[in-house]
């Protein structure tokens, strides 16, 4: 039994290390913006359940295998944009004492030679949260309206492992949230 647990731990560690080596380099302008606006930021550590999920997706050519970073054309201007999930700052209790780290979803839209950042979500850290992507042309079900629609642009999915998901779609200069899983 100990052998199985140890082997599982070693394989999980190797998988996470491999995923980190595959991480696309963030453009220097994106990294500089994160460093300036969120000093001390870091990518979150995900649970073994999320790690296993991404391992199972490794053979899919359209999946980057990264729970904290996606790239796409979110505003459909033909330029590469980025969405990142980071850990930065704290959540405080009523007495003003920090009790957990804050997790933030930030999108970087390419503008000229730089990027415009937008904070889409900021909440308490959850190791079972990860990012996904809907591609332009994908059919998506909106739980609130009980209807399907076709994505006109790449979109960001903010997922809670086996609990729910929110799609962030860029429309008319803003990101709109659509509940796509519960």
Mean pLDDT along residues 87-104: 84
pLDDT greater at residue 176 or residue 126: 176
**Those residues with Cβ within 8 angstroms of residue 148's Cβ, 6 or more apart along the chain or in another chain:** 139, 140, 141, 142
Q: What is the largest CA-CA distance in the chain?
A: 56
pLDDT on residue 58: 61
pTM: 0.78
Is residue 28 scored above 80 in pLDDT? yes
Kindly report which listed range (36-45, 50-59, 71-80, 116-125) carries the lowest average pLDDT score.
Answer: 50-59
Mean pLDDT along residues 84-92: 88
pLDDT on residue 65: 59
pLDDT on residue 148: 93
Distance CA 94, CA 111 (A): 40
Kindly report which listed range (32-36, 59-63, 104-108, 154-158) carries the lowest average pLDDT score.
Answer: 59-63
pLDDT on residue 106: 97
Query: What's the CA dihedral at 23, 29, 30, 33 to 10 degrees?
Result: 140
Mean pLDDT along residues 69-79: 94
Is residue 9 scored above 50 in pLDDT? no
Is residue 7 scored above 60 in pLDDT? no
pLDDT on residue 132: 87
Q: pLDDT band for position 46 (50/70/90)?
A: confident
Mean pLDDT along residues 113-135: 90
Mean pLDDT along residues 115-120: 96
Task: Pick the closest to residue 140 from 131, 130, 151, 132 (CA basis).
Answer: 151
pLDDT on residue 14: 32
């Amino acid at each position: 039994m100990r052998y199985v647990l140890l082997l599982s731990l070693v394989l999980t560690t190797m998988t996470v290390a491999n995923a980190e080596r595959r991480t696309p380099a963030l453009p220097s302008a994106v990294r500089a913006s994160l460093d300036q606006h969120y000093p001390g930021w870091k990518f979150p550590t995900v649970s073994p359940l999320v790690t296993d999920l991404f391992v199972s997706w490794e053979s899919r050519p359209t999946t980057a295998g990264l729970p904290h970073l996606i790239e796409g054309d979110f505003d459909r201007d033909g330029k590469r944009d980025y969405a990142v999930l980071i850990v930065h700052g704290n959540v405080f209790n009523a007495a003003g004492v920090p009790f957990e780290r804050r997790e933030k979803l930030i999108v970087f839209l390419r503008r000229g030679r730089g990027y415009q950042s937008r904070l889409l979500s900021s909440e308490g850290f959850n190791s079972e949260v990860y990012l996904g992507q809907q591609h332009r042309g994908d059919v998506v079900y909106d739980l609130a309206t009980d209807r399907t629609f076709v994505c006109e642009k790449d979109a960001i999915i903010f997922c809670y492992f086996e609990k729910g998901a929110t799609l962030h779609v860029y429309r008319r200069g803003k990101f709109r949230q659509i509940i796509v899983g519960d």
